[in-house]
Amino acid sequence: MLKKKFIIGTLILFVIIAFLESYDVRGVEELSYVIAIGIDVSENNENNILLTIQVATTKPQESGGTSNLQTSLLSVETDSLGLGFNILNTLSTNELNLSHCSAIIFSEELAKKGIEPHFDNLANNIEIRPTATIIVANNTAQEFLVSTSESEDISADFYNSFLESSETTSYIPESSLSDFYAALHDDVIEPSAVYGYSDGSNIENIGLAVFKGDKFVGRLSGIQTIIHNILTNKLDSATISLISPIDNKSIINIKLSLAKDTDIDISYNESTKIPNIKCNINLEGKILSAATNYSFNDTEDLDKLKNAINSKIVSETNNYLYKISHEYNSDIVGFFGYLKRHYLTYDELKNINWEESFKEATFNINSNIELTSNYLFPRI
């Protein structure tokens, strides 16, 4: 009997505690959802940062219909993100919630100085999702957020579209908070991020921001970002254009995808201390558009097109590799990991100074593309 009373009493106690805790739960109407965070160098104190948050707000329609989603910006100068978020909480009508934050934007100026102190704070914040996109803005992060706020019905999906663009066009890389943090603390690969460009009301996100450690060192173009996605086996699809090798006048658009993973191997010359990077690229292509005065059912024409595409891929890959190694000295592909496979012990590997040898790397690139028949045009 006593045991039964004890069990009943315990259950009643649990129910009471559950109801008491429910009074401490805030409803949606009591929260302000942060959908993007911007971090800049303070203009007043070089040791401080300017923290800007983009908060989702709703504006009821006059007709009484569904509310429109808009945004407002809050900014504060602070010496740390943690303190900045606390101050912004006092400025906000509702409690700030970071669980819907989809983008974290750093200005070029701040990124060049180094972002690790701020990045660790973000990575350790349990509210911020590890899938949030990392962006480096050409101007200030605050200006970038002002530009996006001018868009109608903006929401977290606006920033999620960056990742969708990565999958469909490959003009930008995959760049999540978790991926960047992992690369930042990895001895094989350097971090990279999305490069964002804004000039008032226009916003473009084409290209890749290259990092050396936690410092931004340069930008890659859209086509170079496609090559990056090919070499890292993250290419879903991409469209490239080239002058027709048949008439040397018209433009041909080709949709590319990986036929199989890119084969990478690295040999290291012990005497010259120079690595040679070998990449075998295998692609599938579909012709999206072409002039009508010739036929790709003609084997000779088709071979000319294949050779032209392969030549372009080899040329752009060499340009990409030269830029990240000789100019930026940033191994954002993780080539060092491929080199390590050839060494069984750390003692064998420790004599290689990858930091210095990567700057002198040579390249041997091979590309092979197979064009599918779906988009081959008959002569008209």
Mean pLDDT of 328-354: 89
> 216, 210 in Cβ contact below 8 A?
yes
Tell me, yes or no, whether 332 and 316 share the same domain: yes
Q: What is the pLDDT of residues 120-145, one digit of tens each?
A: 888 888 899 999 999 999 989 999 99
CATH number of the domain that residue 267 is part of: 3.30.300.210
pLDDT at 214: 95
**Cα distance between residue 148 and residue 177, in whole Å:** 20
Judged against a pLDDT cut of 50, whether residue 118 lies above it is answered with: yes
Mean pLDDT of 200-224: 87
Q: Amino acid letter at 352?
A: I
Tell me, yes or no, whether 377 and 241 share the same domain: yes
Tell me, yes or no, whether 94 and 237 share the same domain: no
Tell me, yes or no, whether 175 and 230 share the same domain: no
Tell me, yes or no, whether 204 and 246 share the same domain: no
Tell me, yes or no, whether 209 and 229 share the same domain: no
pLDDT at 123: 86
What is the C-alpha R_g of the chain? Answer: 26
Tell me, yes or no, whether 216 and 255 share the same domain: no
Alpha helices of 92-172 — where are they, by DSSP H?
Answer: 108-113, 116-123, 141-149, 156-168
Top-confidence residue, 198 or 223: 223
pLDDT at 156: 53
End-of-domain residue from the set 203, 220, 237: 220
In a domain, residue 18? The reply is no
Tell me, yes or no, whether 168 and 213 share the same domain: yes
Tell me, yes or no, whether 72 and 143 share the same domain: yes
**Cα distance between residue 360 and residue 325, in whole Å:** 7
End-of-domain residue from the set 220, 249, 277: 220
Residue 271, both tokens: 């005497």
Top-confidence residue, 4 or 49: 49
In a domain, residue 319? The reply is yes
Mean pLDDT of 232-236: 92
Q: What is the pLDDT of residues 269-292, one digit of tens each?
A: 988 999 999 999 999 999 887 655
**Cα distance between residue 46 and residue 42, in whole Å:** 6
Among 189, 155, 192, 191, CA closest to 172: 192
Mean pLDDT, the chain, rounded, equals 83
pLDDT at 32: 81
pLDDT at 257: 94
Beta bridge partners of 336: none
End-of-domain residue from the set 198, 220, 242: 220
Tell me, yes or no, whether 157 and 71 share the same domain: yes
Tell me, yes or no, whether 190 and 76 share the same domain: yes
Structural domain of 359:
223-380
In a domain, residue 21? The reply is no
**Cα distance between residue 173 and residue 207, in whole Å:** 8
Which pLDDT band holds residue 296 (cuts at 50, 70, 90)? low
In a domain, residue 23? The reply is no
CA 175 vs CA 66, 199, 232, 233, 298: distances in Å: 34, 22, 13, 14, 42
**Cα distance between residue 79 and residue 344, in whole Å:** 46
**Cα distance between residue 100 and residue 33, in whole Å:** 6
In a domain, residue 6? The reply is no
Q: What is the pLDDT of residues 64-110, one digit of tens each?
A: 554 556 778 999 999 999 999 999 988 877 888 998 899 999 999 99
In a domain, residue 128? The reply is yes
Judged against a pLDDT cut of 70, whether residue 63 lies above it is answered with: no
Domain count, the chain: 2
